[in-house]
Structure 1
Amino acid sequence: MQHLSIMDRARNALERGDRFPAATLPPVVVDSWQRCRDAGLDPRGAPRQNVLAFSQVNDRREENAALRRLALAEMQLLYSQIAGSNFMIALGDADGIVLDTISDQHFADSAPGRSIIPGSIWDESQRGTNALGLAAMYHKPVAIYGREHYFSCHGHLSCMAAPILNSRGETLGLLDASCAYEARQEHTHALVRMAAAQIENGLIFQECSGSFIFAFHPRMEYLDTISAVLISVGREGGIISLNRPGIKLLEGLPAKIGGHFDELFEAGFGSAMDGLLNGGVIRIRDRAGSSLFMVCRQIGLRRARAAVAVKAERPRKMPPLLQDRNAPAFVCDDAAVRRSIADIGDAAALRMPVHITGETGTGKDLMARHVHQLSGRKGEFIALNCGAVPENLFIAEIFGHERGAFTNARAEGAPGLARAADRGTLFLDEVADIPPAAQTSLLRFLDSMELRAVGGHKTHKVDIQIVSATNRDLQEMVASRAFRADLYYRLNAFTIRLPPLRARSDFGGVVRHLMEELAPGTPITDAAIAELSRRAWPGNIRELKTVLQRALVRRRMEYIDEECFNGIEPATENDQESCALCRPHPLSRTKCREIRAVFRATKGNTSQTARQLGLSRTTVYKHVR
């Protein structure tokens, strides 16, 4: 007979309805399984998945506004500590109802991720044995690993929850981390407990802003850690608040809300204050005779908080993780993006020209810089927007010119961008806008890597990695003879196709990456990301960045949730018909759309567009580049 593990035997007995081996299971699991069985829940069935209406969730969020503000900051920090482990962090209220979640993309897209959402109820009577529900029931940290969950459909998950308590030992909320059963467990559970303790300390500073707050511990080096006791006292020495370490350390003494400082410590309140208000650490004995170190963390004035008090309320910034120097500076968890970049290093090693295609705002510039990084070239990365250079100056811009080579030429001449990019990378952005006359010269240069400045006689050999990019269909332009076929085939030796933002499977990762760039450490909830994912994003990542910036300006708290995007309208297709500079201004936008429409109708001919509209070519360049 095949050997069965203790858990196998327990599960088999549970699912058959037999008596399960209680002595081999954690007591909290045994008791919960029995209650669930008595309630008639089928361990092989599906749990009830009741979810509150959004209006009810909002009401609960408002009731827990102070807790939520601090908790989201800690959840963001916790996310940065355990990222990459296929996990979700959830904040629940005292009833075990989820208020907010922050998760990685993989977990958010899984069945458990879709069930742990704002408004979902994790009471044991509905969801069976689970950490969130049991932490709410017992008012203490609980971890449920794998098949310890009552319902077999949760058997591949590990859930770790800790209550967030006030000074009276009442549960204010719950912090939960759920991850794949194979992922880290005890370590994550410890991080969740530490985060809950940090929130409790933050609440003391927040709710006792008009009181004195002292920190003490038997060892001085622990005064700046979450192990330190925090006690809040009024101006006469009355105890207003005490954190969990304080209740534990002062066990046996009258450490209670409404008590007095003098009942806990041998030195009187006035004597202790004389030393504490001088800003130093004092030694003091409690009434049991234990020696302690004590320091003042907040002076009892609402507008005169100490630096440590402010720090306790704000998200703590994490130093950046060390990364592989060849790792891209952008998110690339989408399968299509990963396939596109898999062989870039080999292509660059063979000096193959790289061509990047994708809609406007999909990150072609970042990808070009990544190609340069992987090439290992010591020279510079030189970028040229081909649509922003006047037609008659294009060749001189790339190859340089001698003094007096043409009217308005620089008196001292110019070496040109190709020579500046020697031993580096030349990035030709908007390559579809290269003037027809310049296409022949560029093709000749690509074949020989030799250049001659306008007005010059001497040729120069250069070693350049060529990268080009466009949001237009070059094959269609070749078919209409608007772009040279031989130049097209020379440029696209290795092609990278960037998908539009709306088609990317790593949308959440892109949002979090941009948030970390714009406002490091600022939490953004899963509900906010879900709200953003429902938009079309015609402007892609560039548009997303703008929307996030607007939300950061409009927010009233130190986090971003779905409410922050109310009133921020997504860009429409018509908005994208104007350039970024004109888009915010209605009068400029109308003129810009007209210029760009004519520019498209003339197949990108700047001179013809300028003639038809009676404008200078410089004006046209400004709107179509």
Structure 2
Amino acid sequence: MQILSGMDRARNALERGDRLPGGTLPVPIAESWQRCRDLGLDPRLQPRGEVVPFAAVTRRRQKMEGLRRLALAEMQVLYAQIAGSNLMIALADASGMVLDTISDQAFTESVAGRSILPGSLWDEARRGTNALGLASDSSQPVGVFGREHYFTCHAHLSCMAAPILDSHGQVLGLLDASCANEARQQHTHALVRMAAAQIENGLIFQECADNFILAFHPRAEYLDTLSAGLLALSRDGVVTALNRPGSALLSGLPTGAGVSFDTLFEMPFARALDGLLRGGVFPIRDAAGSQVLMVCRQIAPGLTVRNLRREPQAMQHGRAGPMPEFVCADETLKAAMADIGQAVAMGMPVHLTGETGTGKELMARHIHAVSGRRGEFVAVNCGALAEQLFVAEIFGHEQGAFTNARAEGSIGLARQADAGTLFLDEVADVPLSAQTALLRFLDAMEVRPVGGLKIHKVDVQIISATNRDLEAMVAERSFRADLLYRLNGLVLHLPPLAARTDFVLVVKHLLQELAPGMAITDAAIARLAQREWPGNIRELRSALQRLLMRQRGPFVDETCFVDGSEDVGDACPACRDRGLARRVCQEIRTTYRSCRNVTHTARALGLSRTTIYKHL
């Protein structure tokens, strides 16, 4: 006598119309079968294969453009990561309408491949029990394997789907991996959940580009994994988004949008922000008394470290002073900048020194802003002016004053900067013959155009800058000593990038200027920090532009490093040349280095230990 398995007994009862035997099916599957029965669906027939017009699919894609862009990148990762053939990755909207698929030729040409296509509807009422329909209804990840599908014609498939949720728990879309049942792999379901979580995190960075984004977890080694909570906050500390791990970690506390940081944590937002912006991992207790570790993943664009620490108090009193348009959290740099306000109030010249690319013009523009002058900021590249034209360009000239002079004459850059700031960049390159005229101007603040008789009085804040040693040039008699002493009223040295303690903040600030809302992983920043940066901030900006060219998802990470010091990074040989698949491999290896334990790594990433071993 043949002994039937639980699934055999359940299928026989389903197809005969008998009562389903208890305990033979997972509860969600049994409940779905019963709902399908109640709708009058016959499991032995073909389901209603409705497909909406392509114009409707296009409209839906446009409405979900931001999510779709992130999802397509993750679908590529999934497709590359799940080995084997007869495989399809699909993205659907919240109702179960398929928007995009990525599949191999075998699946595309199969019966299932011809039915899972853009515009096809996979809700339970039409297609019976299936992963997309169940994930949509339950808002939970779900797998439907083989004969668990309601319709017999789908018994050869295994489908694993996960919902993509917004920060309020509403389903925005669905991610599905389908394959032939015999090709099903144990870790596929975990990879689908990881991909959905990655998309959800990416949406927070994408939709909260003008917010602070903080990552937190009770254990430091999980801060760079998908287990970490992500909390988006407005500039005044109001919660705008929280991912699923974050909701779980703050379970029992009021975490809805509109709740303030101060309600969720024991420390006030202003004080916590001050600690977070110093860099590194910051310990803090939530309102229930549990300690978590927190790091800042994104600074609200348009703000700088200097004013971020003061802004909560400044907003309370309705005051706002001039704010640097660059990061200046380095203690050496902050100390050097402390006397700027007093110096410009006294009309004292400011001389900037530092290597090429350290941001001397940005600092000069900030000094102009601090001065409160209503006139223009006029920058002069002294090294770009020919010796015979230097005096005429600075002080102006009358009509026909010299060969090739402008027919209408020129008032000169010094008069153009009247009531403002004249910035003499590369001042070491002022021709020796012109240094006397420049010295006379600095002493009297009077301008007489070349070829003219009338003297014009001006009021100008002088800022000069160079990357050369002017004292050595004075000793060599290539620069006048009295001119140096007239320029260096306040000397402000800009440290090289490699010596700055706020390197992480500089990277994030530049990245926000280049690609607002883009995030960068700590591992990528660590790779950048290993370099010497002889070109300083200018070189760093160029390097970030190259990384952005290679970036394909919502993050800049180690996979963007592909040549020289920007190599492929840490990945196992099997994944190193597989494009986006490297990221999953690197996530596994990075997490393992933190945990130093295969079981803990598998638990943190939601993968099997076999998969972890494979990539190690």
With over 3 angstroms needed to count, the CA separation of the structure-2 counterparts of 1:151 and 1:36, relative to structure 1, is same
Distance 2:572 2:129 in 1: 36
Contact 1:67/1:203 (8 A) holds in 2:
yes
User: Which residue of 1 is the match for residue 35 of structure 2?
Assistant: 35
Separation in 2 of the partners of 1:73 and 1:118? Answer: 17
* Structure 1 match to 2:239: 239
Tell me the SS of whatever aligns to 2:182.
Answer: coil
1:397 is matched with none
Q: Distance in 2 between matches of 1:105 and 1:111?
A: 12
Letter in 2 for 1:291: Q
Tell me how many residue pairs correspond in the alignment.
330
- Asked whether the equivalents of residues 282 and 294 of structure 2 are also in contact (C-alpha less than 8 Å), the reply is yes
Deviations 1:503-554 (A, max 9, x none): xxxxxxxxxxxxx99xx449xxxxxxxxxxxxxxxxxxxxxxxxxxxxxxxx
Q: After TM superposition, list the pairs within 5 Å mapping 1:514-529 onto structure 2.
A: 520-521=579-580
Q: 1:46: how far off?
A: 0.2
Kept in 1: contact 2:92–2:99 (CA 8 A): yes
| Residues 440-455 of structure 1: pairs in structure 2 closer than 5 A | none
The 1-side partners of 2:278 and 2:87 are apart by 46
CA contact (8 A) 2:519 2:555 kept: no
- Counterpart in 2 of 1:203? 203
Q: Secondary structure of the residue that 1:88 maps to in structure 2?
A: strand
* Shift in Å, 1:288: 1.0
Deviation at 1:92, TM superposition (A): 0.3
- Gapped regions of structure 1 (runs ≥ 5): 325-515, 523-625
Superposed displacement of residue 117, structure 1: 0.3
SS of the equivalent of 2:23 reads: helix
In 1, Cα distance between equivalents of 2:72 and 2:26: 31
Matched residues in 2 for 1:55 and 1:272: separation?
49
Counterpart CA distance in 1 for 2:163 and 2:205 is 19
How far apart in 2 are the matches of 1:209 and 1:183?
Answer: 41
Cα distance in 1, alignment partners of residues 22 and 132 from structure 2: 22
CA–CA distance in structure 2, aligned partners of residues 67 and 294 of structure 1:
27
Offset of residue 103 of structure 1? 1.1
Give the SS at the match of 1:182: helix
Q: Which amino acid aligns with 2:71?
A: A
Q: Counterpart in 2 of 1:177?
A: 177
SS in 2 for 1:24: coil
Aligned match of 1:45? 45
Equivalent AA in structure 2 for residue 237 of structure 1: G
Q: CA deviation at 1:251?
A: 0.8
The aligned counterpart of 1:294 is 294
> Which of 303, 313, 316 is the aligned partner of 2:554?
313
- What's 1:106 paired with? 106
- In the alignment, the residues of structure 2 paired with residue 306 and residue 153 of structure 1 have an alpha-carbon distance, to the nearest angstrom, of 45
Task: Indicate how the Cα distance of structure 1 residues 323 and 81 shifts in structure 2: closer, same or farther if over 3 A, else same.
Answer: closer
**Structure 2 match to 1:153:** 153
For residue 4 of structure 1, report the CA deviation from its aligned partner. Answer: 1.0
Between the aligned partners of 2:572 and 2:112, the Cα distance in structure 1 is: 29
CA contact (8 A) 1:164 1:172 kept: yes
- Contact kept in structure 2, 1:77 and 1:315, CA below 8 Å: no
Q: Tell me how far apart the structure 2 counterparts of residues 183 and 279 of structure 1 sit (CA, whole Å).
A: 46
Q: Write the letter of the residue equivalent to 2:295.
A: V
* Aligned equivalents of 1:131, 1:160: Cα separation in 2: 6
* C-alpha deviation, 1:87, in angstroms: 1.2
Q: How far 1:23 moved relative to its partner?
A: 2.2
1:216 aligned onto 2:429? no
Report how far residue 183 of structure 1 moved.
Answer: 2.2
Asked if the contact 2:135–2:163 (Cα under 8 Å) also holds between the matched residues in 1, the reply is: yes
Write out aligned runs for 1:63-462 (5 A): 63-301=63-301, 303-304=512-513, 306-308=519-521, 313-314=554-555, 317=559, 322=573
Q: Offset at 1:322? A: 4.1
Distance 1:315 1:155, change over 3 A: farther
CA shift, 1:265, in A, is 0.7
Query: Per-residue CA shift, 1:220-277, capped at 9, x if unaligned?
Result: 0111011000000011100000000011110111111110000111111011001111
Deviation at 1:106, TM superposition (A): 1.4
Instruction: Give SS of 2:153's match.
Output: helix
Structure 2 counterpart SS, 1:168: coil
Q: Deviations over 1:421-442 (max 9, x none)?
A: xxxxxxxxxxxxxxxxxxxxxx
Cα distance in 1 between the residues matched to 2:102 and 2:266: 46
Distance 2:555 2:107 in 1: 27
Residues 315/7 of structure 1: CA separation in 2 closer, same or farther (3 Å cut): farther
Provide the C-alpha distance between the structure 2 equivalents of 1:219 and 1:131, rounded to a whole number of angstroms.
Answer: 33
Q: Match for 1:277: what amino acid? A: L
CA contact (8 A) 2:521 2:556 kept: no
Q: What is the CA–CA distance in structure 1 between the aligned matches of 2:15 and 2:223, rounded to whole Å?
A: 50
Residue matched to 1:357? none
Equivalent position SS for 1:22: coil
Contact persistence 2:520–2:556 (CA under 8 A): no
Contact (CA 8 Å) 1:73, 1:314: kept in 2 or not?
no
1:174-213 Cα shifts (integer Å, max 9, x gaps)? 0001111122344111100010000000000000000000
Q: How big is the shift at 1:85?
A: 3.8
Contact 1:145 1:159 in 2 (8 A): yes
The answer as to whether partners of 1:83 and 1:104 remain within 8 angstroms in 2 is: no
Question: Quick one: distance in 1 between partners of 2:115 and 2:27?
Answer: 27
SS at match of 2:161: strand
Question: Retained in 1: the 8 A contact 2:239–2:260?
Answer: yes
Query: 1:144/1:205 Cα in 2 relative to 1: closer, same or farther (>3 Å)?
Result: same
Classify the secondary structure of the residue corresponding to 2:7.
Answer: helix
Give the alignment of 1:584-603 within 5 angstroms: none
1:313 partner amino acid: P
SS of 1:52's partner is coil
Contact 2:205 2:519 in 1 (8 A): no
State whether residues 132 and 174 of structure 2, in contact with CA within 8 Å, keep that contact through their aligned partners in structure 1.
Answer: yes
Judging changes above 3 Å, is the alpha-carbon distance between structure 1 residues 83 and 105 closer, same or farther for their aligned structure 2 residues? Answer: farther
The alpha-carbon distance between structure 1 residues 321 and 45, as it changes in their structure 2 partners (threshold 3 A), is farther
What is the rounded CA distance, in whole Å, between the counterparts of 2:152 and 2:59 in structure 1? 33
| Alpha-carbon distance between aligned partners in 2 of 1:239 and 1:174, rounded to the nearest angstrom | 25
CA displacement at 1:2 relative to structure 2: 1.3
Distance 2:7 2:125 in 1: 23
Contact 2:162–2:175 (8 Å) recurs in 1? yes
Query: Matched residue of 2:4: which SS?
Result: coil
CA distance in 1, matches of 2:119, 2:49: 10
2:91 and 2:275 mapped to 1: Cα distance? 40
CA distance in 2, matches of 1:321, 1:286: 39
How far the C-alpha of 1:307 sits from its partner, in A, is 2.2
Alpha-carbon distance between aligned partners in 2 of 1:185 and 1:129, rounded to the nearest angstrom? 21
> What fraction of aligned residue pairs are identical, expressed as a percent?
63
Equivalent position SS for 1:23: coil
Q: Which moved more, 1:194-203 or 1:25-34?
A: 25-34
Counterpart residue number, 2:462: none
Give the secondary-structure state (helix, strand or coil) at the position aligned to 1:284.
strand
The whole-number CA distance in structure 2 between the counterparts of 1:323 and 1:254 is: 45
The 3 A distance-change label for structure 1 pair 320 and 217 is closer
TM-score (norm 1): 0.51
> Shift in Å at residue 31 of structure 1?
1.0
Partner SS for 2:183: coil
Deviation at 1:83, TM superposition (A): 3.2
> Greater CA deviation, 310-319 or 130-139?
310-319
TM-score by length of 2: 0.51
CA distance in 1, matches of 2:574, 2:226: 29
Structure 2 residues not aligned, in runs of 5+: 303-511, 523-547, 560-567, 582-616
Q: How far is the alpha carbon of 1:20 from its aligned partner?
A: 1.3
- Is the contact made by 1:135 and 1:162 (CA closer than 8 Å) also made in structure 2? yes
